[in-house]
Structures are given as structure tokens and as C-alpha cells.
Amino acid sequence: MLDLQVVSVDTLSDKYVLIKLTYGHPLPSMVPGQFVEVLIDNGAQTFLRRPISINNVDIEKNQLWLLVAMVGDGTRHLARLKAGDSLNCVLPLGNGFTFPDTVMQAAERRFLLVGGGVGVAPLLYFGKELHDMGCVPSFLLGARTAKDLLLVREFMRYGNVYLTTEDGSGGEKGFVTDHSILKSERFDQISTCGPLPMMKAVARYAAKVNTYCEASLENMMACGLGACLCCVEKTKMGNVCVCKEGPVFDVNKLLWL
């Protein structure tokens, strides 16, 4: 549990903010796919912590980025933070995405990272780490409209970016699973995060083309520590905690397909 300091809060659109945080000591090591539990304000409506993915870690600047969609009181409160404010976080929590074991594997393995809406958040850090290992990941990012496509420029630094929007205002029109890249290219691993229907569609696509697929789930959480059993997902092994056993799961272990 650390009191991090807000460096900046950038408004990306009327719905999204990017919060950059730092700490007086080196941040603990974190892997892509892990999340933090942030304390909002102990207010009557927002007294439980909110789980937020690790969007990026900038080791040189000792910064942690959180990409936040304003959906309710808690996230709107986060969007109102100012430089210099402190934010109490329990971190890092959960398990990350599957990484190549060796640099050699990384260079050969074709990764497709599929994100929808604010679900793109953990994929940036994952893509950056893959890039740093010598891999060129492909990012397939979807949103309702062009202005909800988030951090596209950041993603472009680390791999190939393919975009879709539901209204056709950016990239190809349609859902991520409609994108032409899925017809023209094959991948060795697909990692996805976003709305449940999108992730399920991605999982069906992966099953069809026989590709390993993992998804990062966003079940409602109370403790984030594996203590309360509130965040469970039904799996082939019974009900398991998303916060402790996940949030990233091999989709074949879930009961989606």
C-alpha cells in the first residue's frame, strides 16, 4: 500500500483521462496485466477501492500510468485529481499476460493484442514490454467512435496498429472481430481486454483459427486480494477469484465457448 503522487491528469476526451503517478522511492516491479486498487475518498458512495489496470510503467521517470474511463462517482473523482495530490494504491495485484520465455521466442512469436474501449489500458504496457524484448506486436484497437480510440500514438511506438470504430469515423467500420487483418494474417498468441461481448467474440475467432487466446476480466471486486471471493468467474475448475487467479485467463479455462 503506497501513497503515490499525481504528476498530471490529462483529459483525453469527455470520457477518458490519463493519470500519471510517481513515488518518492522506486516503484515496485509490475508486470503487464496486473492492476492496482485505488482508494477514492472514503466517501459514502465511493468507499470501496476501485481496480484499475496498469496502463504503463515508465522506469526512467519512475511513473505509473492509469487510463481511466469516467463511468461513475469513483472514476469521476479520479479524473478531478490535480498534480501534487496523493492517491493511495495497493499494488501490484493479480497475474499478468503470458510472456515469451526467451528473447529468441519473442522475436518469432506473432502477438495480437486486441483492446476495446478503456480495455486497451493494460495492452499498452504489454506491447511496450514485448517491443523491448525485440518483438513487433500487432495492436487491434476498437471503439465506438474515433474520439474514443485511446493513446493510438503511444501504441504506434511499439508495434503495428489496426483500428476499428462502430460508426466508421476511424479505422475500419465495425467491431474488432470484423477487421480485415484477421482474414489476412495469423498469430501465435492473442491477448485481449475490453467489454465482455468483444472478448467473447475474440475468443470465438481464436478458437476458429486454433490460436492460443487469453483475456483480462474485469469482474466487480471488493478486496482485490483473494480474501472475499466476491469477484469469482465460473471456470472449468469451478468458481475462481479473478483478482488472485487472474485477471488474465486462458479462455479455454473459462466457460465462454
Query: CA–CA separation, 190 vs 114, rounded Å?
Result: 7
**Of 213, 223, 248, 251, the one binding ligand FES by CB under 6 A:** 223
192, 198 Cβ separation under 8 angstroms: yes
Q: Which does residue 49 touch among other proteins, ligand FAD, ligand FMN, none (CB within 5 to 8 A, set by kind)? A: other proteins
Shortest Å, Cβ 44 to ligand FMN: 15
The neighbour count for residue 84, using CB atoms within 10 Å, is: 8
The H-assigned helical ranges of the chain are: 73-79, 103-108, 121-132, 152-156, 181-184, 196-208, 242-245
Shortest Å, Cβ 216 to ligand FAD: 7
Q: How far is CA 41 from CA 16, 38, 47, 48, 66, in A?
A: 20, 9, 6, 9, 17
Shortest Å, Cβ 233 to ligand FAD: 11
Q: How far is CA 6 from CA 3, 52, 82, 210, 231, in A?
A: 10, 15, 7, 43, 28
Query: How would you classify the pairing of strands 111-116 and 50-53?
Result: unpaired
Indicate the residue among 18 and 38 with the shorter CB distance to ligand FES. 38
Query: Contacts with other proteins: how many residues (CB under 8 A)?
Result: 29
Indicate the residue among 71 and 103 with the shorter CB distance to ligand FAD. 71
Shortest Å, Cβ 108 to other proteins: 37
Q: Provide the mask over 206-245, with x wherever binding to ligand FMN is found by CB under 6 A and - wherever it is not.
A: ----------------------x-x---------------
Indicate the residue among 149 and 221 with the shorter CB distance to ligand FAD. 221
Query: CA–CA separation, 236 vs 174, rounded Å?
Result: 32
The 3-state DSSP class for residue 3 equals strand
Residue whose C-alpha cell is 483459427: 209
84: left (phi over 0), alpha (psi -120 to 50) or beta: left
- Contact between 217 and ligand FES by CB under 6 A: the answer reads no
Which residues bind to ligand FAD, rule: CB under 6 A?
35, 46, 50-53, 67-69, 71-75, 118, 121, 218-221, 247
Which residue in the shown chain puts its C-beta closest to ligand FAD? Answer: 72
Sites of contact with other proteins (CB under 8 A): 1, 39, 42, 44-49, 90, 219-234, 238-239, 244
- Residues at the site binding ligand FMN, with contacts judged by CB under 6 A: 228, 230
